[in-house]
Amino acid sequence: METAACGEEDEWLIQSLRLYQDLHTFELQAPTRLIEWARGNRVCVAGYGQSGGNEILQLLPPPTLQVKETQGLCPERDFKVECGGFSDRPVYSLKHVPDTSLLVTSGPPDSSLQVWQVSAEDSDVIQAISAIAAEKATGQPWAKIATISARAPWVLHGSRLNSVQITEVESRKNVYRAASENSEELSGLAFLDCNTLLLCCVPGQLCLADLRQPPSPLGAASIPSAPRAGRWCMGAPGSASSCQPVALLSNEGHLVLTDLRKTSEALALAKCRVPSPGSHAEFLCVSWAPALESTLAVSGFDGTVRVYEAQSWDSSGREAEPIFVHRGHTLGGSGDPPLVTAHTWHLQKPRTLLSAASDGSLHVWDWVQPCG
C-alpha cells in the first residue's frame, strides 16, 4: 500500500511540473478551517480543536506570493510565523478588521466574539483584548462574522437571522440590530458596502438589508430554481455595485447564480460532480476569483479544490466541468483521505489560491493557463 501511495504521489509531482505555474506545500502544527488575509499581505490561520489551546498564527508568505510578477528562483520558499497567540476555544472563523491591527474570531460553544490585537513589530504576540457578547449567545450556534472600516471598525455578526447585529469593534457599541422573527440558522453574511448587508440562511434563503432604510423585519427569499433540500452557503460579490452575481452552493453539489438586484430569479444553474452527495456540509465553500472574470472555486466535498469558469452556464442545471482540479491534499497520507477545510484566492495574483485540509496541510498553487 505504501509503495502504491508513493507511486501515485510521484506521478502527481511529475504532472505538477506542467500543470502548475507555482506550487508550495506546508505542514501546520494543527489543521485550520480558515485562511484570512491580514494587513501587509500576511495570512492568518487558527486551530479548531475542542480541547483548548488553539493557536492563532499570523504568517509571512514566501516572497513569490508577495510580488505581482514572477521573480525567478527565491531562496525563501516557506511561510514564516510572524506572531501568534492562543485561544481557549475553537476558532471557526477569523476576520481581520481593515485598516487596523485587530482580529475578530468566533467559534463554539456560543455566538460571542473575541477581539485580538496583533502586537507591534517589536513583539510576536497576538493578544486577546476584549469580547463581544451577543444576545442569548449561550446555546446558540457559533456566529458568522464579517468586518469593515468604512465609517468605523465594525463587525457584522450573528448565528441566526433574528440575531444579526453590527457592533463597533473598539467601543463594543451596538450600531445595528436586525428586526426579524425568522430564526433560521445563518451559513454566511457579508458587507457589500458600508450600508448594504447580504445574509444567507442554511436552508437556502437570501436576505439583503440596507442600513439607510428604517428598521423593518428582514425578509428572506428562497434560492430560486433550486432543490429545497440540503444545506447552502454563498460566495458574495465584491460589492453592492458589482455586476458579479451571488454564487450559492449546496452540500449536494447544486450551484445557483443570482443577481443581487433580483434574488428571486436565477441567472444560471449548474451541478458539481461530488463524491458523496450530502455527506459533508461543515467545510462547504464557494468563492469568486477577485482578479479573474466569471471564475469561482468550490471545496469542502473531499480533498480537492475545483475551479470553474461560469460564463457559459445557463438555466439547464447540467453538470459543469471544472477548468482545473487541485488534488494535492489527497496524496501522501495514510488512513482516511483528508478533507479540504478552507480555500481563498490571492488578492492580486489571478490564478493563485491557498487551500488547507484536515491533515494540517497548507498549499499555495497557481495553475498553468492552457494554451488557447
Question: How sure is the predictor about 5, in pLDDT bands with cuts at 50, 70 and 90?
Answer: low
Q: Where are the alpha helices (DSSP H) in the chain?
A: 2-19
Say which residues have a Cβ less than 8 Å from residue 370's Cβ, sequence separation at least 6: 323
Report the percentage of the chain scoring pLDDT > 90: 57
Amino acid present at 116: W
Whether 74 shows a pLDDT value over 50: the answer reads no
pLDDT number for residue 180: 77
Average of per-residue pLDDT across 92-111: 96
Give the model confidence (pLDDT) of 8-33 as tens digits: 666 666 666 688 888 888 999 999 99
- pLDDT higher at 66 or 274: 274
- Is 121 a residue whose pLDDT tops 80? no
Length of the chain in residues, anyone? 372
pLDDT digits (tens, 9 = 90+) for 289-347: 999 999 999 999 999 999 999 999 998 889 999 999 999 898 766 678 899 999 999 98
Q: What are phi and psi of 291, to 5 degrees?
A: -125, 15
HSE of 292, CA atoms in CB hemisphere, 13 A? 22
Predicted confidence at residue 12, as pLDDT, reads 62
The candidate with the shortest Cα–Cα distance to 331, out of 302, 303, 356, 301, is 303
Task: Delimit the domains of the chain by residue range.
Answer: 1-30+232-348+355-361, 32-222
**pTM of whole model > 0.85?**
yes
Block residue for cell numbers 514566501: 62
Among residues 165, 172, 90, 95, the alpha carbon closest in space to that of 129 is found at 172
Distance CA 20, CA 306 (A): 14
pLDDT of 185-228, one tens digit each? 999 999 999 999 999 999 888 988 888 887 666 777 777 666 66
Q: Distance between CA atoms of 39 and 51, rounded to whole angstroms? A: 29
Closest CA to 48 of 107, 127, 126: 107
The mean pLDDT of 236-252, rounded to a whole number, is: 85
CATH 3.20.20.210 fits 32-222, yes or no: no
pLDDT for position 2: 41
Higher-pLDDT residue of 51 and 255 is: 255
3-state SS class at 335: coil
Check residue 169 and give its pLDDT. Answer: 96
% of the chain residues with pLDDT over 70? 85
Give the per-residue SS3 of 64-78.
Answer: HHCCCCCCCCCCCCC
Judge contact between 124 and 78, C-beta under 8 A: no
pLDDT digits over 159-171, tens only?
Answer: 999 899 999 999 9
Q: Could you give the CA distance from residue 366 to residue 372 in angstroms, rounded to a whole number?
A: 18
pLDDT at 128: 95
